[in-house]
Amino acid sequence: MLPKDFIAQLSDPAKELAKTSKIPASFTVAQAAIESGWGAHAPGNNLFGIKATTDWKGAVIMLPTKEFLKGVEVTVQASFRAYLTWAGSLQDHTQFLLLNERYKPAFATTNAFDFAKAIQAAGYSSSPTYAQDIINTINAHSLLVLDV
């Protein structure tokens, strides 16, 4: 899928979710793009790569994933949440961030860039460049217009 088509498909749902969650729509779209390769790599319609922990009651898919352990990239098998649609992934992603106490500082931010930095600081990804990757995607695709 082309980036412009991916953005068009997710923009309205991300803006709707932003109204009640305060998660910047630009952040949601950019994060989904990074995590799923613009929708090309979203097994189980999981756009965000959210793992299925023991408290997850929905469908699960087992996949290899790259993690950074002690600064070294390794491949491990992990359980991931699975959804019927991308909309289900967007909704669960919103709830995931809202309900996890460790992400609470992100909701004190006032823009997508600071939100991305706070999510990284809270441990969302093991990638050392995660926030900057999101910021770069927001900038490269003029996604800040989604937050107006």
CB 122 within 8 A of CB 98: no
* Catalytic option among 16, 35, 55, 67: 67
Per the annotation, the verdict on 92 as an active-site residue is yes
Neighbours of 69 (CB within 10 A): 9
Cα–Cα distance between 99 and 21 in angstroms, integer?
11
* Catalytic option among 92, 101, 133, 147: 92
Per the annotation, the verdict on 5 as an active-site residue is no
CA angle 37, 141, 85 (to 5 degrees): 40
3-state secondary structure of 67: strand
Tokens of 66: 């790259």
Active site residues: 67, 92
